Amino acid sequence: MMTNVVVRQRGQVTIPDDVRNMVAWLSEGSAVGLEMVEKEMLILRPHTKAIVKKFSWNEISKKINLARSFKGQNGNLSGFIIEDRNNH
């Protein structure tokens, strides 16, 4: 099967639904390995290390919001980061 996709600005490629549906190991949050076989051929395989942990964008968002809510002696963390970035 051959399908065409577009490489976006930061090298991102969207794998079409029909391809993802045909491959059980290819789902959201899956870690994959990319192997260059020849100059014009790449192979995408499931990542084999058992240490790989799937993550939840909802959990990451909750932790970001929690970090933003902390207030120190001089205001909140977001304000500190913005001020620090402006000073550099």
pLDDT at residue 72 in the model: 62
User: What is the rounded distance in angstroms from the CA atom of residue 79 to the CA atom of residue 73?
Assistant: 12
Give the CA distances from residue 49 to residues 29, 40, 80, in Å, rounded to whole numbers and listed in that order: 14, 26, 38
Domain layout of the chain by residue ranges: 1-52, 57-86
- Give the contacts of 2 (CB within 8 A, at least 6 positions apart): none
Q: Give the model's confidence band at 60: pLDDT under 50 very low, under 70 low, under 90 confident, else very high.
A: confident
What does pLDDT average to over the chain?
A: 81
**pTM score:** 0.46
pLDDT at residue 53 in the model: 61
pLDDT at residue 35 in the model: 87
* pLDDT at position 50 over 60: no
Report the CATH architecture of 1-52. Answer: Ribbon (2.10)
